Amino acid sequence: MNLFTYGTLMIPEIISSLLGRNLTGVGALLKDYRRALILNQTYPGICRQGESQVEGVIYYQLKSHEIEILDNYEGQMYELNPVQVVLKSGDLEEAYVYVLKDEFKSLLSDKDWNLEAFLKND
C-alpha cells in the first residue's frame, strides 16, 4: 500500500523508527484537502476542502503489518482514505492518507501545520 503523509510521518527518522526499517519518500501534493494544527497539540490533521492543497511525502509498498503499526501511532481520531496525489513530475499516484474522522473535525484549528516550525520546536 502506498501512503501519503503530511505531518510527523513525513520525518524519515520517525517513520523509520516506528517501522524498524529505513524508508525513502517522494514529495507529493494532495489537492482539495486542508492541513491544520489540532487544537492544543503539535501535530496536524487534514480534512476535505476544495481549492486547498497539502504538501507531503508518499511512501511506497508498505506492508499490512506496517500499516497496523501506523494505525496505532495515529490513534482513533484518524481513518485511512484512498486518494490520488500529484508527484513533482506531474504524474498521478494512488495512495492512502490518514484523514481526521468527521466527529473530530471540530478539533482542527485555523493554523496551518509547518514542518520546519515543528522541527525547530522539537
Whether 8 is covered by a domain: the verdict is yes
Q: What is the pLDDT of residues 10-61, one digit of tens each?
A: 999 999 999 999 999 999 999 999 999 999 999 999 999 989 999 999 999 9
Whether 65 is covered by a domain: the verdict is yes
Q: What's the domain count of the chain?
A: 1
Whether 107 is covered by a domain: the verdict is yes
pLDDT at 119: 87
What lies within 8 Å, CB to CB, of 11 at 6+ separation is 115, 119
Whether 119 is covered by a domain: the verdict is no
Whether 57 is covered by a domain: the verdict is yes
pLDDT at 15: 97
Mean pLDDT, the chain, integer? 95
Whether 9 is covered by a domain: the verdict is yes
pLDDT at 122: 59
Using 50, 70 and 90 to split pLDDT, how confident is the model at 117? confident
What is the Cα–Cα distance from 97 to 39, expressed in whole angstroms? Answer: 20
Residue with cell 494544527: 37
For 99, the domain range is: 3-113
Domain holding 51: CATH number? 3.10.490.10
Whether 17 is covered by a domain: the verdict is yes
Is residue 110 predicted with pLDDT exceeding 80? yes
Residue with cell 478539533: 107
Q: What is the pLDDT of residues 54-96, one digit of tens each?
A: 999 999 999 999 999 999 999 999 999 999 999 999 999 999 9
pLDDT at 120: 86
Query: Which ranges in 20-114 belong to alpha helices (H)?
Result: 64-74
Cα distances (angstroms) measured from residue 14 to each of 38, 59, 117, 119: 19, 13, 16, 12
Whether 93 is covered by a domain: the verdict is yes
